[in-house]
Structure 1
């Protein structure tokens, strides 16, 4: 029996295995690729180490890569066959149950089981970060906030990973709409650990949601060495940088970053960032045919089987952007057949049926120029989009697609309501005022269109809200 770095007992680990496990958790909290090597080293030293096997399973399942999940299932099944589970510590058995739920496709049950581990063991860093990622994958903003908030008082100023816990909490606060508090907590997290990329990411999200894109660009530029290399989160943070640049109207800078960083993505997370960025450009009339074709070629093996509907949406974006509408329709047909099969307890099944399919169908309709159908498909589900995961910033591509389709379809009342929602929520966004100008043009109100464009230009020059 040994204790981990946060004082929690573990069975089945040698001193060396426990040391590798602690380092693996540290690497995971930093989003560094070395987490895989440290986990393998722990299991090489102590193959039956329960928490080492649990960590390995989470790593394989939370990437949203179907192939990684398949391998994780095989490894974990082999571990369970050899393990004497009755002899494990209660916390370890609880983790086994959470992992098994995840292996079975029940993200929601896994998140609930991890929440109970956190209640009983608030210093279980692995339960916190795994649960945090589950909340992100299921779009559960309240749990993103409260899972970590409920554990925070058990962490102290001299804790090695206090900053990382604060970084997670800052992201949860942002997704739940507490922007001022999120900024405060996120900046404190990064102060404690300047290379906490998740903490940096939380601050970046907060500035995005507040329309402070000028501030966001300055923040990322000032911290460039801390976030741009050495982690598997680099590409996503560059994607956020591009969102700021898009808001300021700097499309050449966006394409420069795309070609230098996003175009070479391999994982689902990197590919979906690339698709989401090119789709935003496409909505504004910038087609990027060559970039779309290269991206579409990378998607087929990633969506060969149903696993995560949020990934499916971005694959469909890539196919439509590349002019491969047939591939998009085949993927949708495969997912529709999957959705018709009864799969109780499989979270992605519900995601696909309730949100994934209408969103994917709407993207194809947009690609075909059938903008009225886009509105028919998206308007009824627009307040449920969070149910298939991602962040507010990521899901905004869907909301922008709906608004653009309403404008192009001549559905002026819908477009007016959607533009009004956006402007009153974020009046410092140039994009929102440009859409207001486009609507005014369609209504023949030249004065209102000119005033809205002037407002958009002023905001682009000043960087939005200070």
Structure 2
């Protein structure tokens, strides 16, 4: 039995497996682009090590697509076949990943909390706990699970970045920025810390500072996976959007967001969709970009990894006028909502399904319907996850629907009034003709 870089025991006698686990942890915490490769090296190094299998399964689950879930299954099964003689921490972690794979998020979270309480050096488990809280909209516990282990991890910049993001989501902006800057001062190559500070500056409307901060660090993102590379550039694009520099935003979309995306990646797709939508809400003609993006969304129709993502997909399909796919996906969402874990079911039934109706209606220009559907769900949208910066998009769509529906009402009223005047004039003319 050896120890990993966190000082935690791993049931293996292979230094090569430990080296792979250490690289996996570094890659995961820094959102590196070689996560899959390094952990698969661990599997090769020790085919009897339960934790390398569990970490591999966890990696595939984070990809949030059907193909990756299938890839996760044999590794999870292998981990469960090597439980004899492993530590309690390893057993708890494998149980947490198994619960995640089954969609039992309440169980997964409880296990990550137990791990954090008893093994506070296990940052990978805490990172995954934060991930679950993020997509359940539980910002307080997202912060708390990381804050609670600060004392056990002095000067760990990765943890500072995790705490910084939690503080920002809880509107503790000054503390969030200080923590994010502290993390970056320790290690300039900490993209999640950069991201947390970007959120603060965006929330405070510090556009020029935000651009300067992120662009000064952008060179360090070259080794990031496409998700965080494109997402951090997405934040830069939002700053330029606030500046009103639409050509710059389009250029960032084409070169650093969709242009650098792993186009089959759900997270990359969601970011691209959200940026195109924001551009259109500002009156920008995005050309054929909806059609280009939508060709990659067919695998998403029956996937339903996260309701937050589904709302983006179905809107994009509607804007690309792929209405057969829209109808198919909406029916699939309804069917899925009836079959999932009760812990998650209400979020689908009460939030995702009516929100999807509103999104489809807005994309089709049926603004009164969009306004009615979105008004009901806006106060509940935090329950399907996403950050403040991401969820504000739905509020913008709602306000746009209100504006357009009122405009349509005014146009209808004017047209009706004109029609009444014309009819009256015709009646008068008819009476005068009869008298003559």
Same fold (TM over 0.5): yes
Q: Is the contact made by 1:263 and 1:291 (CA closer than 8 Å) also made in structure 2?
A: no
- Give me the whole-angstrom Cα distance separating, in 2, the residues matched to 1:155 and 1:179: 22
- Deviation at residue 149 of structure 1 after TM alignment: 0.2
Shift of 1:346: 6.1
CA 1:354 to 1:411, structure 2 compared with 1: closer, same or farther past 3 Å? farther
Calculate the TM-score normalised by the size of structure 2: 0.89
Structure 1 position 411, deviation (Å):
9.3
Normalising by the residue count of structure 1, what TM-score does the alignment of the two structures yield? 0.83
For residue 288 of structure 2, give the secondary structure of its aligned residue in structure 1: helix
SS in structure 2 of the partner of residue 383 of structure 1: helix
Count of aligned pairs? 404
For residues 247 and 259 of structure 1, the distance between their equivalents in structure 2, rounded to whole angstroms, comes to: 18
Q: Which residue of 2 aligns with 1:361?
A: 357
Choose which of 212, 217, 231 in structure 2 pairs with 1:218: 212
Q: Is 1:25 matched up with 2:22?
A: no
Q: Answer whether contact 2:49 2:79 (CA < 8 A) is retained.
A: no
- Residue 187 in structure 1 maps to residue 181 in structure 2: yes
Contact 2:96 2:107 in 1 (8 A): yes
Q: Where does 1:100-179 land on structure 2 (aligned, <5 Å)?
A: 100-157=98-155, 162-179=156-173
Q: Contact conserved, 1:105 with 1:346, CA < 8 A, in 2?
A: no
Are the equivalent residues in 2 in contact too, given 1:296–1:322 (CA < 8 A)? yes
Is 2:395 the counterpart of 1:392?
no
Instruction: Report the equivalent of 1:42.
Output: 42
Distance in 1 (CA, whole Å) between partners of 2:79 and 2:153 is 32
Q: What are the equivalent positions in structure 2 for 1:2-401 lying under 5 Å apart?
A: 2-80=2-80, 82-83=81-82, 85-157=83-155, 162-232=156-226, 233-264=228-259, 265=261, 266=263, 267-341=265-339, 343-345=340-342, 347=344, 349-401=345-397
Give me the whole-angstrom Cα distance separating, in 1, the residues matched to 2:214 and 2:20. 32
Deviations 1:304-337 (A, max 9, x none): 3222212211111211221223322221111112
Q: 2-side partners of 1:9 and 1:228: how far apart?
A: 32
What are the superposed Cα offsets for residues 425-451 of structure 1, whole Å, 9 maximum, x if unpaired?
xxxxxxxxxxxxxxxxxxxxxxxxxxx
Q: Say which one has the larger Rg.
A: 2
Q: Name stretches of at least 5 consecutive residues in structure 1 with no aligned partner.
A: 413-466
**Cα 1:178–1:13, aligned 2, differ >3 Å: closer, same or farther?**
farther
Contact 2:54 2:79 in 1 (8 A): no
Unmatched 5+ residue regions in structure 2? 409-436
Distance, in Å, in 2 between the alignment partners of 1:106 and 1:174 is 27
What per-residue deviation string (whole Å, max 9, x for no partner) do you get for residues 330-384 of structure 1?
211111122234x33463x443222221221111111222212112111121121
> How far, CA to CA, are the matches of 1:357 and 1:336 in structure 2?
7
Shift of 1:41: 0.8
Superposed, 1:405-424 pairs within 5 Å as 405-410=401-406
359-368 or 257-266: bigger deviation: 257-266
The superposition leaves residues 163-210 of structure 1 with CA deviations (integer Å, 9 ceiling, x where unpaired) of 000000000000111111000000001111101011111111111111
- CA–CA separation in structure 1 for the residues paired with 2:347 and 2:174: 31
CA distance in 1, matches of 2:48, 2:190: 31
Change (3 A) 1:306 1:128: same
C-alpha RMSD over aligned residues: 1.8
What whole-Å deviation, never above 9, does each CA across 1:73-98 have from its counterpart, x for those lacking one?
A: 23212332x32x24221111111110
- For the residues of structure 1 that align with 2:224 and 2:173, how far apart are their CA atoms? 28
